[in-house]
Structure 1
Amino acid sequence: MRLYLLALNPTDSVTEGFLPAADRLGLQVTVLTDQPDAHRRSAPGIEVLECDVRDFRAVITRIATHHAPDAVFTNSDHLQTQAALAADYFGLPAKDWKAALRVKDKAQMRRHLAASGLDAVWSAELAAGQDPAVLTALDVPYPCVVKPREGVASEDVVLVDGPEELALRCKEIQDRRPSAALVVEEYLAGDLCSLETLGDGKLRHVLGGFRTRLSPPPYFIEERCTFVSAHPEPVVAQILAQLDALGVGFGICHTEFVVKDGRARIIEVNYRAIGDQADLMLAQLLDIPLFEHVLRTHLGEPLPADLGARTDGVALVDNPCARSAGTLTAAPEAVDLVVDGIELTYRPLRAVGERHELYHTNRDFIGALRALGRNTDQATLDRVAADFLAAQRWEITP
């Protein structure tokens, strides 16, 4: 059976999660990408074909002129609609392309949820190239958040306090992204959380979720994610109802939301695995073939009624971040160890000698620490992780 996997840049989710899972399932894999050299380096031995994967027509043509497909899949935020359209064209199991588009377009997601009667968030769109001065005529609730309409990973997401700053921030983003439409929306206060779900279109499993620690405002860098085996049932019910309204229920999904006074409000829906190594940790923590389950749904196989997930673990992912621009001149190497029963996995995300600007996004991550414990408490996990990070040294030279 042949799996076509659409990708942009290589990610840990693909190279360490989905590609090994495909191999374990005995699938023949063809990666379609606009960055073929990078994927050939990250996944030697995998067939990689160059393709304009942002264009669903190019994807369909590339597949139609190669081997017959049994599944078309992507874990990229940017390619869900294209993969869904291509899979549907070949009569294969797929996400609803309308739902994929609906959640990728943050303005459309707000409109759809408001029309459903489940949640109304004040928001406005600024078209690519449109003068931010038009926003001054609107009754913008401050503080508010500015972000690209189809952005990811906190890229160019910023909190603003007034009209002058709003116009300035919009102009800055437009200078960096002249073709991007922007969304301005009310700031949703509360504890930032996520819900991880896996469905086959008929059955949906809630895998748990995370509580997220953010960087100080005005930016929204997700510095630490702590696993939550079960959010309160009323909170989960609110989020699932909103996902149902959006048409989200096939494959894996990472939904970010805030909770305040028991009310859960979606920030964004990422119709893919959580990423940033948290999905790798989730598979290990639950002790299930998570990536295989995801691929099986795209092959048309139903999910089991019981995934057999373990419930005896605590876990977190902590991402040390660069605080300034410059060259990384000292950093710890990859390591796996066990301390006081806690499994620690540290992986560098930048090579020593690399120079980077300061992005105020997840691109500022310089490492990833996964910490996992079984039959232990959260306090022990937090202490061991904090002690490990405190003993490391990262140096950035301007």
Structure 2
Amino acid sequence: MRLYLLALNPTDSVTDGFLPAAARLGLDVTLLTDQPDAHRGRYAADVEILECDVRDFRAVISLISTHHASPDVVFTNSDHLQLQAALVAEYFGLPGKPWQAALRVKDKAQMRRHLAAAGLDAVWSAELPVGADPEVLTAVAADAPYPCVVKPREGVASEDVILVDGPEDLVLRCKEIQGRRPGAALVVEEYLAGELYTMETLGDGTVRHVLGGFHTQLSAPPYFIEERSAFVPAHPEPVVAQILAQLDALGIGFGICHTEFVVHEDRARIIEVNYRAIGDQSDQLLEQLLGIPLFELVLRTHLGEPLPAELDARRDGAARIHTPCADRAGTLTAAPGATDLEVDGVRLSYRPVRAVGERHELYHTNRDFLGVVRAIGADLASVDRVVADFLAAQTWEIAP
């Protein structure tokens, strides 16, 4: 059986999660990407890598049709390729995510419109199309409630997501983002107050499991960098019900999904829906903590296999993700290497994200991560103590 996996740049989720899971399931893998050189040499020798314009579903269909026998699985864990993978899977008659749902949640303006039309949540928002007249931006700035948030309509990972506090600031920030992203439409929407959480779900179209989630702490405004997250085994039932109702309205019920939301005065409001596994190694932590073959289960749903009624997931552990971030532009000249250790019953793993010798600008996004600390233990106090001790003993040096 052959899996066609669509990818842009390499990610930990694919390298350390989905590809090993595919091997355990006995799947032959063909990876389609527009960046083949970035992937070569990273995987097992039997992973076939082909260059393809994966952002164009027609190119993907054409390549698959002229390659091996008919595909058995078409899958991606990329935010940017969910619509394409859904369309390709539907074309070949394979299980997959509804393309309409993939479109709704990738397009943040469309998601807001859809939830409002369903009567579930009305968030003030305005769309700034590519090439819009300057008068459109001026009108949006005059009407927007402040503070508000500006972000790319189809962005990801806090890229160019900025809190603004007035009309002049909004106009300035929009022009800055448009200068960096001349082909990107923007969304301006009201700032949703509250504590930030995530909910991780896995479904087969009939059965849906809530895997828990994370409580996330962000950097100081005006940016939204995810600095620390603690595992939440179960959100309060009213919160779960509110989020699942919104996911149902969006058509999210198949495959794995990562939903970010805030809770304020008992009201749960979606920030965004990423129709993929949670990234930045949190998916690997989730698999380890819950004690389930998460990546295999995801692929099995795309093979058309039903999920078990019960996953027998563990809920008695505590876990923390901590991401040291660069605080300035420059070249990383010293940093710890990959580490695995156990202290007082806490299992800690550190994996570098940025290599020594690399030069980067300061992005004010998740691209500023220097590494990822994952820690699992019996209680959060012990986990946090071990993480704090580990970080205090490390050094990251950045030269101008």
Q: Shorter chain as normaliser: what TM range?
A: over 0.9
Supply the distance in 2 between the matched residues of 1:190 and 1:71 (Cα, whole angstroms).
39
Alpha-carbon distance in structure 1 between the residues aligned to 2:14 and 2:202: 17
Distance 1:209 1:311 in 2: 11
Aligned to 2:219: 215
Identity of aligned residues (%): 79
Unpaired segments ≥5 residues, structure 2: none
Equivalent position amino acid for 1:65 in 2: T
Other-structure match for 1:82: 84
User: Structure 1 stretches (4+) deviating beyond 6 angstroms?
Assistant: none
| Pairwise CA distance, 1:131 | 4.2
- Given the alignment, which residue of 182, 185, 206 partners 1:181? 185
1:322 corresponds to: 326
Moved more, 385-394 or 47-56: 385-394
What secondary structure sits across from 1:41 in the alignment? Answer: coil
CA distance in 2, matches of 1:350, 1:140: 38
Residue 21 of structure 1 corresponds to: 21
Q: Distance in 1 between matches of 2:158 and 2:205?
A: 29
Distance 1:163 1:73 in 2: 42
Q: Tell whether the 8 Å contact from 1:132 to 1:170 is kept in structure 2 after alignment.
A: no
Secondary structure in 1 matching 2:41: helix
Paired residue secondary structure (2:18): helix
| Whole-angstrom CA distance in 2 between matches of 1:253 and 1:99 | 11
Distance in 1 between residues matched to 2:122 and 2:42, nearest whole Å: 43
Q: Distance in 1 between matches of 2:125 and 2:172?
A: 18
Q: 1:1-398 counterparts in 2 under 5 A?
A: 1-45=1-45, 46-67=47-68, 68-138=70-140, 139-373=143-377, 376-398=378-400
Once the two structures are superposed, what CA deviation does each residue of 1:18-47 show, in whole Å capped at 9, x if it has no partner? Answer: 000000000000000001111112214110
Q: When the two structures are superposed, what TM-score results if normalisation uses the length of structure 1?
A: 0.98
Q: For 1:244-271, what per-residue CA distance to the aligned partner results, in whole angstroms no more than 9, with x for missing partners?
A: 0000010000000000011000000000
Give 1:377 deviation, angstroms: 1.8
Q: Within 1, Cα distance between the matches of 2:320 and 2:211?
A: 15
Once superposed, what is the RMSD of the aligned Cα atoms?
0.8
Is the 8 Å Cα contact of residues 221 and 362 (structure 1) preserved in structure 2?
Answer: yes
Moved more, 93-102 or 132-141: 132-141
Whole-Å separation in 1 of the counterparts to 2:110 and 2:24: 38
Alpha-carbon distance change, 132 to 370 in structure 1, aligned in 2, over 3 angstroms: farther
Give the letter aligned to residue 122 of structure 1.
Answer: W
Deviation at 1:197, TM superposition (A): 0.1
- Secondary structure of the 1:308 match is coil
Partners of 1:283 and 1:131 in 2: how far apart? 48
Question: Contact between 1:126 and 1:132, CA under 8 Å: does it hold in 2?
Answer: no
Deviation at 1:390, TM superposition (A): 1.2
- Using a 3 Å threshold, how does the CA distance of structure 1 residues 394 and 182 change in structure 2: closer, same or farther? same
Which stretch shows the higher mean deviation, 128-137 or 156-165? 128-137
Amino acid at match of 2:99: W
Pairwise CA distance, 1:135: 3.2
2: CA distance, partners of 1:131 / 1:212: 37
CA contact (8 A) 1:133 1:167 kept: no
Q: Separation in 2 of the partners of 1:315 and 1:238?
A: 25
Superposed CA offset, 1:29-83 (max 9, x none): 0000001111112214110110000000001001101112001000000000000
- The CA deviation string for residues 74-104 of structure 1, in whole angstroms up to 9 with x for no partner, is 0000000000000000000010000000000
The Cα offsets for residues 153-209 of structure 1, whole Å up to 9 and x where unpaired, read as 000000000000100000000000000000000000100000000000000000000
Distance 2:396 2:215 in 1: 26
* 3-state SS of 1:98 partner: helix
Distance (whole Å) between structure 1 residues aligned to residue 357 and residue 40 of structure 2: 23
* Separation of aligned partners in 2, 1:225 and 1:14: 21
- Matched to 2:393, the amino acid is A
Which letter does structure 2 place at the counterpart of 1:182?
L
Would the alpha carbon gap of residues 169 and 65 (structure 1) be closer, same or farther in structure 2, given more than 3 Å must change? same
Aligned residues: 396
CA distance in 2, matches of 1:278, 1:131: 41
Gapped regions of structure 1 (runs ≥ 5): none
Calculate the TM-score normalised by the size of structure 2: 0.98
Task: Report Cα offsets for 1:344-386 as digits up to 9, x if no partner.
Answer: 000111111110000000000001000001xx22111111111
